[in-house]
Structure 1
């Protein structure tokens, strides 16, 4: 068993918490902006009253577009990174039960009540005479869960990993061999595999397509690959430190990719993000292969670089940062109700889309973390009362406590 599993199974790492906090805040702010665009990316675009100027959309695409291609994969990577320690500490059965409770229950509540309720409110505010039942059954995708699709898919991956861990433990009584060196060559091979599988699956499920339960099947190749990468490199001690050479190479790959993408966009004559997107999303198009290649490079190299950089640069700890780290998953889950409520409230204001988006985003980020922290603190107090534990001894296990992803 790796030293990571032994030493870090119950230890919070401020650098990981800070990284998760930054990414969740970035996602919430990005969704606030995307709700007012014509290209979409956040469901408020179905009913928005104003939209960005095309030039503003180009700036937005340059600023947040690259991160949209890899940030979700990074969350799956971090989830996989902490899964071996969680399984080792709890056992496969308890690990699976914990994930069902902390991923499955919020997902079902979101899908069955919270998300359709707030989307119904958004449609009503826009003047549509629709019912809650319509919002639940007639919007696409069917049984939409908003941002909690992440929890749904992560639950499937986690249960599969628990089953695999249980099976390998039963079938093999021999101790696991020491892990072989893992480095840049393996990451390149993984990126190539993500390119090929993403291109193939998007022949049937183009990017941004919808499926029942909002499965995001077009994103599964990168999500599963990154979850698996996290599981593998956990045995190599990457929770504590990504090798400096690997981090540097990944950072260079990200910089080169980000520098090349705008040049390619100009060379290809992409003038309208909404109109030019179709061939990039899937099918037998070289543009689809190009997008899959850019995504794979960013999600593999970007995730590893982000982890390595956080381990070296995001070591600061304070009461505020600790609270944000604990509340990160709750903040992520709360972004739907908070963003939609703020957008509905801002609807009557005679402001351009750019101003409304900035106001909604600026208010939503602290609101999500604050409400999330209140929920976490309430859960901790309730846990202490049930156990009769003194204040300093209690902690909240599992996903809500460890934020996103679970550890």
Structure 2
């Protein structure tokens, strides 16, 4: 089988992976919906114990198993080619501008917009004390952690170069054995980290460890997933997996996710809910839950990649627009949710219809504001 060095002049330039752009755009909308549900439950727009709240919690739990990890997988896939194309210095500089500038802007400015309800409804005065108390990275933990990952990759790539260890790109499809090994490593990693950082932000664990991982990710219990999938993305690029993974693996992926949910989740729900044992600790319920989450994560991601490659491989105007604006939408969506929710509460909008109204207002507003923001010349160069 032919193989070529990454960055070699003889390497044929591949066409753009539009299906990956489309998948990333779809995941961005899923993130928006995820946070619409989360903040609706947290602010009791969906009242506790209601069917809507229960369904919302299940929606959040299932999403959490794969959606942010998929972003890290996709990001990892495109890191090697960008590094080789730009060189280490320009690569880090570009990532610093693209990642940390929006991160800093969010922390200093948009975090206050995210807290608009406490200023408007709770009539909390805007002072330096309240300003600093409401500083948060919001959804930008993702770009912060991704910046850490790409910097570590740059160090590793320079080390490989100095030691004259060639990085070879092949066209070698993944095997089920490889996927099984990854699932087992991920499951064990889940089980271990949740000894200190329980799943789903449930009580317990080590406050010091939780505080440390909280510097980099909002869900520290999923940190092994983010690390593992970013590395897997790099391997996927080196072996061209986004293109050469058999279609049958996509069907198998969805089948694995469904099968794991049917056979493992009931055990967790029946025997692991008592004292929240499934969330972490030295018990079999936590181990089974970790195994289910690893299987569901890998299965759904595999299925989605193949589904989009087969069914959503082209870009019309809608997908093109969404792909171009997805990063801006990701940055601004939580402040927009906060503004919409606060506005509806101010006008005493009927609670029964508030969640639906939030969806119908927030999503178009995200599109509109992202379009306006991208028209700003300096901003458009960054995001």
Q: TM-score, normalised by structure 1?
A: 0.80
Residue 30 (structure 1) aligned to one of 11, 20, 34: 34
User: Could you give the per-residue CA deviations for residues 89-141 of structure 1, whole angstroms, max 9, x where no partner exists?
Assistant: 112222121111111111122123321x12432212331525454455446xx
- 2:137 maps to what in 1? 145
Q: C-alpha distance in 1, partners of 2:169/2:316?
A: 40
Gaps in structure 2 of 5+ consecutive residues: 202-209
Superposition pairs for residues 119-268 of structure 1, below 5 Å? Answer: 119-127=114-122, 129=124, 131=126, 133-138=128-133, 144-172=136-164, 174=166, 176=168, 178=170, 182-209=174-201, 211=211, 212-213=214-215, 215=217, 216-260=219-263, 263-264=266-267, 267-268=270-271
Unaligned runs of 5+ in 1: 38-44, 271-275, 384-395, 401-407
Q: CA deviation at 1:349?
A: 4.8
Secondary structure of the corresponding residue to residue 198 of structure 2? coil
Cα distance in 2 between the residues matched to 1:50 and 1:175: 51
Aligned residues: 367
SS at match of 2:346: coil
Which residue of the partner structure matches residue 19 of structure 1?
A: 23
Secondary structure of 1:347's aligned partner? helix
C-alpha distance in 1 between matches for 2:117 and 2:316: 37
Deviates more, 1:145-154 or 1:295-304: 295-304
Deviations 1:280-314 (Å, cap 9, x if unpaired)? 33233433323322221122222122111111111
**2:66–2:297: 8 Å Cα contact kept in structure 1?**
yes
Aligned to 1:110: 106
Deviates more, 1:199-208 or 1:336-345: 199-208
> What's the secondary structure of 2:115's corresponding residue?
helix
Q: TM-score, normalised to structure 2's length? A: 0.85
Alignment partner, residue 95 of structure 1: 91
Q: Is the 8 A contact 1:203 1:284 kept in 2?
A: yes
Check 1:360–1:309 CA distance in 2 against 1; reply closer, same or farther (3 A cut).
same
Aligned residue in 2 for 1:279? 277
- Aligned-residue offset at 1:268: 3.8
The 5 A counterparts of 1:223-372 are 223-260=226-263, 263-264=266-267, 267-268=270-271, 278-351=276-349, 353=351, 355-372=353-370
User: Cα offset for 1:241?
Assistant: 4.1
Deviations 1:352-380 (A, max 9, x none): 6552122112222222133223323433x
Distance in 2 of aligned mates of 1:36 and 1:175: 47
Give distance in 1, aligned partners of 2:291 and 2:130.
36
| RMSD over equivalenced CA pairs, Å | 2.9
- The alpha-carbon distance between structure 1 residues 134 and 288, as it changes in their structure 2 partners (threshold 3 A), is farther
* Contact 2:172–2:244 under 8 Å retained in 1: no
Range that drifts further, 299-308 or 241-250: 241-250
Q: Partners in 2 of 1:86 and 1:277 — Cα distance?
A: 47
Contact (CA 8 Å) 2:265, 2:292: kept in 1 or not? no
Aligned partners of 1:282 and 1:218: how far apart in 2?
9
Indicate the SS of the match to 2:197.
Answer: coil
Verify the 8 A CA contact 1:4 1:240 in the aligned structure 2: no
Is the contact between residue 145 and residue 216 of structure 2 (CA under 8 Å) also seen in structure 1?
no
